[in-house]
């Protein structure tokens, strides 16, 4: 079996593609899988690290206004479409799968024109422009959230599968959770807030946490704060200007990145984070209450729609970039953690959207398409 996976830009697009590729390899060890991406995104690190081949083309997101820069991007993307056609002809795949990013446009369109079976996975509750554009061309669209179905028109086939992820619910015992807290230099018994902003951090969240730290507002809770590799030193210096040593904060542990997120989520009482599709999926699998801070300039405002999936079932609260600061975030945290039973109930509510056997469902749809060929 020859498979092409189109995925680019962020981990939220690339990791689902890798999860699907891993499932294909599990079922078909001899499968020949090639990823197509760009030279600019995280695919250049994540795909080779996962052990897969990566081909690259030029592709850009087109903004909805006329400018010289936008026109240049349009021409480069058209050139990328030509390159995609040549790659599809050379590889001659049995199926082409897209998992996100503007790379999906030229690659899946090229495959569709050659009558190769195509499958597109949309992880967000609000589908992006590329998905809407490709809807009438691809054979099957897989969705991570049911909310996405009503926003996709002219599709041949839409199937709810959930979002593929390597993230699992590790079901830690209370003693194990305490051990993790101690490992991280935290109090094993004090209410723990886990705060992060995606793989690179989020400036509004980091600035609000800085406000909490500077004024020592977190008397009733402790924070494990992942500032992001690119922002850790920035906020370390910012705190230093106010004579605050980031290594000696009271009730706060700041790190550039958290590598054991499955365990750390389980050891936490409340999560403060962005609301990308994969983060929503992981929070729900962990069964944790959350305060979401949607990325304000995300395409189609999709992070707001993602956050509402959990907020609407009483599993999360939302605060926006233009509302968040030290005082407002602290107030919302304190309001949320004051009722322990309510906090537990929110966590249980989060598990309502968890989809089981996601990779199996996706693989079943893949087999259906191949059997039709």
Number of domains in the chain: 2
Query: 336 and 216: one domain?
Result: yes
Neighbours of 207 (CB within 10 A): 17
In degrees and rounded to multiples of 5, residue 24 shows phi and psi of -60, -45
Question: Cβ(315)–Cβ(352) under 8 Å?
Answer: yes
Of 271 and 39, the structure prediction assigns the larger pLDDT to: 271
Query: 306 and 322: one domain?
Result: yes
Flag whether pLDDT at 113 surpasses 70.
yes
Among candidate residues 324, 210, 361, 338, the one with its CA nearest the CA of residue 270: 338
For 342-347, what is the mean pLDDT?
97
For 183-204, what is the mean pLDDT?
90
Query: 149 and 180: one domain?
Result: no
CATH number at residue 55: 3.40.50.2000
Report the b/e string of 219-238 with b at 16+ CB within 10 A. eebbbbbbbbeebbeebbeb
Query: 209 and 151: one domain?
Result: no
pLDDT at position 76, please? 61
Query: 222 and 158: one domain?
Result: no
Q: What are the pLDDT digits (tens) for 217-262? A: 999 999 999 998 888 898 899 889 989 998 889 899 999 989 899 9
Flag whether pLDDT at 37 surpasses 60.
yes
Q: What are the pLDDT digits (tens) for 304-342? A: 999 999 999 999 999 999 999 999 999 999 999 999 999
Query: 192 and 153: one domain?
Result: no
Does some domain include residue 168? no
Query: 296 and 359: one domain?
Result: no
pLDDT at position 149, please? 95
For 106-135, what is the mean pLDDT?
93
What confidence category does residue 196 fall into, taking pLDDT thresholds of 50, 70 and 90? Answer: very high
pLDDT at position 44, please? 92
Query: 149 and 201: one domain?
Result: no
Among candidate residues 83, 116, 119, 79, the one with its CA nearest the CA of residue 98: 119
Q: Which residue range forms the structural domain that includes residue 64?
A: 2-163+355-372
pLDDT at position 125, please? 92
Query: 117 and 244: one domain?
Result: no
For 137-166, what is the mean pLDDT?
94
Does some domain include residue 169? no
Query: 319 and 248: one domain?
Result: yes
Helix (H) or strand (E) holding 16: helix 11-27
Does some domain include residue 306? yes
For the chain, what percent of residues have pLDDT higher than 70?
A: 92
Query: 311 and 197: one domain?
Result: yes
Query: 187 and 298: one domain?
Result: yes
Neighbours of 115 (CB within 10 A): 8
Q: What are the pLDDT digits (tens) for 261-279? A: 999 999 999 999 999 999 9
Flag whether pLDDT at 68 surpasses 60.
no
Exposed / middle / buried, residue 247 (Cβ in 10 Å: 0-12, 13-18, 19+): exposed
Exposed / middle / buried, residue 353 (Cβ in 10 Å: 0-12, 13-18, 19+): buried
Mean pLDDT, the chain, integer? 91
In degrees and rounded to multiples of 5, residue 95 shows phi and psi of -155, 150
Of 276 and 296, the structure prediction assigns the larger pLDDT to: 276
Flag whether pLDDT at 10 surpasses 60.
yes
């Amino acid at each position: 079996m020859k498979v092409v996976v189109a995925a680019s830009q962020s981990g939220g697009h690339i990791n689902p593609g890798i999860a699907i590729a891993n499932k294909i390899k599990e079922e078909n060890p001899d499968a020949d899988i090639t990823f197509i991406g760009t030279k600019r995104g995280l695919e250049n690190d994540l795909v080779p690290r996962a052990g897969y081949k990566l081909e690259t083309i030029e592709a850009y997101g087109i903004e909805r206004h006329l400018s010289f820069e936008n026109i240049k991007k349009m021409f480069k993307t058209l050139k990328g479409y030509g390159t995609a056609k040549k790659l599809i002809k050379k590889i001659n795949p049995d199926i082409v799968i897209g998992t996100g990013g503007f790379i999906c446009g030229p690659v899946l369109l090229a495959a569709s024109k050659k009558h190769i079976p195509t499958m597109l996975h949309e992880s967000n509750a609000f589908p992006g422009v590329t998905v809407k554009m490709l809807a009438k061309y691809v054979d099957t669209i897989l969705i991570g959230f049911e909310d996405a179905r009503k926003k996709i028109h002219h599709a041949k086939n839409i199937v709810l599968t959930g979002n593929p992820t390597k993230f699992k619910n590790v079901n830690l015992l209370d003693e194990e959770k305490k051990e993790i807290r101690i490992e991280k230099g935290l109090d094993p018994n004090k209410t723990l807030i886990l705060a992060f902003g995606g793989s690179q951090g989020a400036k509004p969240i980091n600035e609000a946490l800085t406000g909490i730290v500077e004024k020592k507002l977190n008397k009733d809770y402790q924070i494990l704060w992942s500032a992001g590799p690119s922002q850790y030193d920035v906020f370390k210096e910012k705190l230093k200007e106010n004579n605050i040593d980031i290594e000696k904060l009271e009730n706060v542990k700041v790190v550039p990145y958290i590598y054991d997120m499955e365990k750390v989520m389980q050891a936490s009482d409340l999560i403060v984070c962005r609301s990308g599709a994969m983060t929503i999926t992981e929070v729900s699998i962990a069964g944790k209450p959350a305060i979401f801070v949607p990325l304000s300039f995300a395409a189609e405002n999709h992070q707001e729609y993602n956050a509402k999936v959990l907020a609407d079932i009483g599993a999360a609260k939302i605060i926006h970039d233009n509302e968040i600061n030290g005082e407002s975030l602290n107030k919302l945290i304190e309001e949320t953690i004051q009722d322990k039973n309510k906090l537990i109930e929110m966590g249980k509510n989060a598990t309502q959207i968890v989809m089981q056997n996601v990779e199996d469902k996706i693989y079943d749809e893949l087999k259906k398409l191949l059997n039709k060929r």
